[in-house]
């Protein structure tokens, strides 16, 4: 595996992809997903970072799936990293978790709801790993400069910013594509989260809804707007997924979508 922060800054004429299931459900399905995405990305020449949450801490309902156990899920992520020689990422929710995952992951993800938590960001930055901060649904692209500064204050300059939409009334998100170049102005690679930007959170059922049918639309718009990378959660059977089922792309739809995105990227490079 030849992966470092410069990989994310010099991935042109391609883009990089952060992808995987929303959460680790079991070893078999996680391995299957990682193997399939890796094969596709190797064929297409797209740098790939495997993503899965080892624990889901921010659920609407008390009864929602949160994970299979921290140590078990983390060990599966490590197996995927080792078996497929892949960079991997997962999200953390409290400062002490940074050290728990730092020996395994290449990128530590800060959830959107926690993008203002100074102690959390500083703890992630002090591991000297790449830190991917998701823009809060309540934040502007311009204001994310301060989140990036928190990482850099530790001497760690490896920071990614991820756009995932803004709250628009109740139970809706809207993506302002202007945030992509705005956040690139903070000297950070910028990712568009094509799946969580389609969420319809906090439903009366206690289960987050979403419009997965719009994933491809957002991905195409993101590449056209100049995003350095895309974040796509995917699953062989999204309707059976234990977390964020309504927001994930079916695994069999990933290759044709990525092929279309590469054509868009190439057309922009050739223009």
Per-residue pLDDT tens digits for 212-223: 789 999 999 999
pLDDT at 157 over 70: yes
Percentage of the chain modeled with pLDDT above 70: 90
Task: Reply yes or no on whether the pLDDT at 204 is more than 70.
Answer: no
Whether the pLDDT of residue 246 is over 80: the answer is no
How much is the pLDDT for 223?
96
pLDDT at residue number 25: 95
User: What's the pLDDT score for residue 203?
Assistant: 54
Predicted local confidence at residue 201, as pLDDT:
64
pLDDT of residue 26: 96
Q: What's the token pair of residue 221?
A: 């718009």
C-alpha to C-alpha distance for 48 and 100, rounded to whole angstroms: 23
Looking at residues 73-77, what average pLDDT do you find? 97
Q: Looking at the predicted structure, is the pLDDT value of residue 55 above 70? A: yes
The percent of residues above 90 in pLDDT, for the chain, comes to 75
> Does pLDDT of 56 surpass 90?
no
Q: How far apart are the first and last CA of the chain?
A: 33
Of 65-79, 121-135, 168-182, give the range with the top mean pLDDT.
Answer: 121-135
- Whole-prediction pTM value? 0.93
Angle at 33 (CA atoms; ends 28, 39), nearest 5 degrees? 125
Question: What 3 state SS string does 157-176 have?
Answer: CCEEEEECCEECCCCCEECC
Sign of CA dihedral 72, 81, 53, 99: positive
221 — phi, psi (to 5°)? -65, -40
The closest alpha carbon to 230, from 252, 260, 207, belongs to 260
Asked whether the predicted pLDDT for residue 257 surpasses 90, the reply is: yes
Mean pLDDT of 95-105: 96
- What is the pLDDT at residue 150? 98
Tell me which of 56 and 204 has the higher pLDDT. 56
* Residue 31, pLDDT score: 98
Query: Residue 266: pLDDT above 60?
Result: yes
Region 220-229: mean pLDDT is 96
Between these two residues, 211 and 228, which has the higher pLDDT value?
A: 228
* pLDDT tens, residue by residue, 14-32: 899 999 999 999 999 999 9
> What pLDDT band is residue 106 in, cutting at 50, 70 and 90?
very high
Mean of pLDDT over the chain: 91
Q: Return d(Cα 133, Cα 121) in angstroms, integer.
A: 8
pLDDT band at residue 236 under the 50/70/90 scheme: very high
Residue 179 near residue 163 (C-beta atoms within 8 A): yes
Residues 6+ apart with CB under 8 A from 247: 22, 195, 196, 198, 199, 208, 210, 211, 212, 215, 233
Buried/exposed code over 232-252 (b: 16+ C-beta within 10 A; e: otherwise): bbbbeebeebbbbbbbbbebe
User: Which of 3, 40, 25, 19 has its CA nearest to residue 259?
Assistant: 40
């Amino acid at each position: 595996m030849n992966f470092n922060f410069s990989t994310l800054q010099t991935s042109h004429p391609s883009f990089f992809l952060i992808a995987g299931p929303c959460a680790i459900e079991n070893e078999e399905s996680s391995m299957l997903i990682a193997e399939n995405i890796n094969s596709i990305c190797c064929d297409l020449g797209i740098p790939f970072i495997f993503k899965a949450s080892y624990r889901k801490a921010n659920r609407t309902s008390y009864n929602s799936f949160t994970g299979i156990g921290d140590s078990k899920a983390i060990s599966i992520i490590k197996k995927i990293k080792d078996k497929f020689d892949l960079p991997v990422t997962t999200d953390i929710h409290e400062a002490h978790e940074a050290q728990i995952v730092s020996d395994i992951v290449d990128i530590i993800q800060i959830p959107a709801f926690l993008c203002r938590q100074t102690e959390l960001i500083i703890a992630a930055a002090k591991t000297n790993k790449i830190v991917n901060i998701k823009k809060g649904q309540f934040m502007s692209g311009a204001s994310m400069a301060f989140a990036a500064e928190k990482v850099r204050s530790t001497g760690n300059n490896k920071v990614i910013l991820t756009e995932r939409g803004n709250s628009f009334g109740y139970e809706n998100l809207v993506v302002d594509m202007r945030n992509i170049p705005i956040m690139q102005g903070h000297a950070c690679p910028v990712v568009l989260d094509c799946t969580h930007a389609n969420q319809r959170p906090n439903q009366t059922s206690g289960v987050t809804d979403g419009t997965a049918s719009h994933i491809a639309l957002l991905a195409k718009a993101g590449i056209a707007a100049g995003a350095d990378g895309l974040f796509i959660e995917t699953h062989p059977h999204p309707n059976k997924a234990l977390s964020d089922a309504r927001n994930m792309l079916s695994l069999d739809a990933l290759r044709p979508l990525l092929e279309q995105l590469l054509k868009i990227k190439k057309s922009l490079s050739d223009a």
